[in-house]
Amino acid sequence: MSLELKRRKRSKHWYIRGTVRGQSIFETTGTDDKAAAEAIRIKREARLLEDSIHGKKASVTFAEAAASYLSSGGSRRYLGQQKDDGSWTGLIGYFYAKKLHAIGQSDLDQTATKLYPTATAETRNRQCYTPFIAVWNHAVKNQWADLRKWSRPRKPKGIAQRIRPLRSGQRPVSYELAAQFVLAMSPAPAFVMTALFYTGMRPSELLALDASIDDIRPKDNWLVLASSKTGEPRGVPLHDFVVPLFTALVERGGRLFRTPRGEPYPLTEDADDHVSGQLKTAIIGARRRSGINDVSPYTARHTVSTQLVIHGVHPHIKDQILGHAVDHMSRHYTHVPQPELIAAINTLPIIPAWARAPWWNNPVSWQRKLAEGTGARSDLRRTA
């Protein structure tokens, strides 16, 4: 049976109704123009017929996969922006109507060159290959594409590279120095930095944690990120040191990490590269009070990575903790607490002064207090 156009009562829009090879649909065309609705009906019927014969892998486009990835919580960063005329820039613009099965390594390489003709290999990798592969992995999960290993650009050997000054946060620090910095903060941002230094999570991943959505199990030293930067869920081990903090925040419910005003920290597209809003204010204040200027949220991730290497943790275990490992076995055991990962994260040192911070006894009640020298208040002089 072919599809036909119908009008519902009290609606000006035309609807498509019918069955194609056993698949029934009843959906609006979104228009009251019959000619336009008929064009939509023809296109929809052809698509349903193609899907029924060849399967979704033969018909899903990159734009459709990207839209699904974004609606599931994926990052829009570097995928592109929609223009006023409905067209797209960036990766979505280049691959828009191209079917996934028709995209190959050479297409990805050519697109990266067109989008970033003068960029370094690292920039093309970060801004083109990583978001593309995140969308592809999402499509694989939905059985719209086959699992494929994509090659990424590498630095050319034997060519001198321009040395660029490192931004704050790109070097690891000692845990003693990290403790001094964090203890100069108000409790709310101190919770964020403490969690980062004892999980190795990306700032954007941590700030998005929600007890009502994410699988967070402090008693098991484990949490599961539903969608990571790679587009795949991943398990994160929790250090014993932060288990009480996560326990208290999970029991409160909702978004775990909030500002001193009780509001969730805003999620921005560049949360992993920069700090903004109240967290930025907290970082600047802690630098002024502590005299330590080379610590930012991303410092924690570099510090965790370095400490794991120092303590002899196997590179594969380290990569799984940091979310770099995306092999099949890693994905298979995402929801199961991994003893070897928990043991590895627990090699990170606990600094006595950090452990004596007054907010450990009741983190939720301390969240709204402010550090000495913050505005006109000095709540940390008081006892909780």
Q: Are residues 199 and 310 in the same domain?
A: yes
Nearest of 185, 201, 195 to residue 218 by alpha carbon: 195
For 14, the domain range is 4-54
User: With bands split at pLDDT 50, 70 and 90, how would you rate the model's confidence at 111?
Assistant: very high
pLDDT for 371: 77
pLDDT score recorded for residue 337:
83
Q: How many domains does the chain have?
A: 3
The answer to the question of residue 166 being in a domain is no
Asked whether residue 157 is domain-assigned, the answer is: no
* Structure tokens, 226: 């539903």
Does residue 158 lie within any of the structural domains? no
Same domain, 43 and 86: no
Domain edge (last residue) among 117, 141, 165:
141
| pLDDT tens digits, one per residue of 224-243 | 987 655 556 789 999 999 99
**Which amino acid is present at 159?**
I
Instruction: Tokens for 306, please give them.
Output: 């370095």
The reply to whether 18 and 79 lie within a common domain is: no
Sheet holding 4-7, edge to edge: 4-7, 14-20, 23-28
Q: Which of 87, 119, 141 is the last residue of a domain?
A: 141
Counting residues of the chain whose pLDDT is more than 90, the rounded percentage is 49
Query: Is 161 within the bounds of a domain?
Result: no
Position 384 pLDDT exceeds 60: no
When pLDDT is averaged across residues 367-384 and rounded to a whole number, the result is 60
Residue 58 pLDDT: 74
Alpha carbons 219 and 211: distance in angstroms, whole number = 14
Is 48 a member of any domain? Answer: yes
Q: Note the pLDDT tens digit of each residue in 271-295.
A: 444 455 568 889 999 999 999 998 9
Question: Residue with structure tokens 């909780």?
Answer: 384
Q: Does residue 231 sit in the same domain as residue 95?
A: no
Let me know if residue 169 belongs to a domain.
no
pLDDT of 127-166, one tens digit each?
999 999 999 999 998 889 988 889 999 876 655 555 555 5
Greatest extent of the chain over all pairs of C-alpha atoms, in Å: 76
What are the residue ranges of helices labelled H in the chain? Answer: 34-54, 62-71, 90-95, 105-115, 121-124, 130-141, 175-182, 187-197, 203-207, 243-252, 277-290, 299-310, 315-322, 328-332, 339-345, 352-355, 363-366
